[in-house]
Structure 1
Amino acid sequence: MIEPPVISDLVPHAGRMLLLERLLDSGADYVTCEVLVRADGMFDRDGRVPAWLGVEYMAQTIAAYSGLQAQASGQPVRLGFLLGSRR
């Protein structure tokens, strides 16, 4: 089995702002990433995180997918932006 890439090689976040733990699985049209809620995390509130943080988890997972696509085509991993969401 081939080990998946290290998440920090795919997502242009660093330190405590890299919220994804690791890439679990990927395919041509999907990725699955893992998040660990840590007691010392910036957003931890007694073992919980605010619901809006799910949007950031999603955005970083999309960044991981984009990073995989970039690597597969020999391109550098690039910074992206989430411009908005509804409700």
Structure 2
Amino acid sequence: MLNRDWISQRIPHQGTMCLLDRVVDWSDSRIACAATSHADPANPLRAEGRLGAANGIEYAAQAMAIHGALLANADGRPRQGYLTSVRSVSLHVARLDDLPDELDVVAERLSGDGNNILYQFSLHHAGRCLLEGRAAVVLDAAAVHGEKS
């Protein structure tokens, strides 16, 4: 089962920073996850008692990391990825913490090569789009620049 325990073993975010509860569906090009941490008063991304909608980008980034882990060789560790840019982000709500039910987090791989990936992402609640945009991810940034680990 691809639940929070499975997720936390495969991404660097631990404890309350592991924001996603489970993988709902995935393929080579797309992942859909569910989250309830937006409603948790202890969510570490909250500021002044609220969780602004822009924090949904972190939810999407974690879905992208999980997607990379799922695509990795079953015997190997996924490569470290870095979110290098987000573009065309549209926020359709001001905040996330006032939403009572699960968030649906979707990331779709649009293009990529061995070191660079472009994703389109969105967050939904009860069928309503909360935010959407595109994100670029660089894998093994040190290797891209010829640095040694």
Does the 8 Å CA contact 2:45/2:51 hold for their aligned counterparts? Answer: yes
Partner of 1:32: 32
Partner of 1:13: 13
Q: How many pairs were matched up?
A: 83
Identity %: 31
Q: Is 1:4 matched with 2:5?
A: no
Higher strand share: 2
SS in structure 2 of the partner of residue 43 of structure 1: coil
CA RMSD of aligned residues (A): 2.1
Q: Structure 1: which 5+ residue stretches go unaligned?
A: none
Scaled by the length of structure 2, what TM-score is found?
0.48
Query: Based on CA coordinates, which of the two structures has the bigger radius of gyration?
Result: 2
Query: Which one has more relative contact order, counting CA pairs under 8 Å at least 6 apart?
Result: 1
Does the 8 Å CA contact 1:22/1:33 hold for their aligned counterparts? Answer: yes
Scaled by the length of structure 1, what TM-score is found?
0.75
Q: Deviations over 1:11-59 (max 9, x none)?
A: 221122211122122222211111112122123465x521111111111
The range that moved more, 59-68 or 30-39, is 30-39
Distance 2:24 2:8 in 1: 13
Higher helix share: 1
Partner of 1:79: 80
Does the 8 Å CA contact 1:12/1:78 hold for their aligned counterparts? Answer: no
> Which ranges of 4 or more aligned residues in structure 1 deviate by more than 4 Å?
none
Residues 1:34 and 1:50: Cα distance change in structure 2 (over 3 Å): same
Q: Structure 2: which 5+ residue stretches go unaligned?
A: 90-149
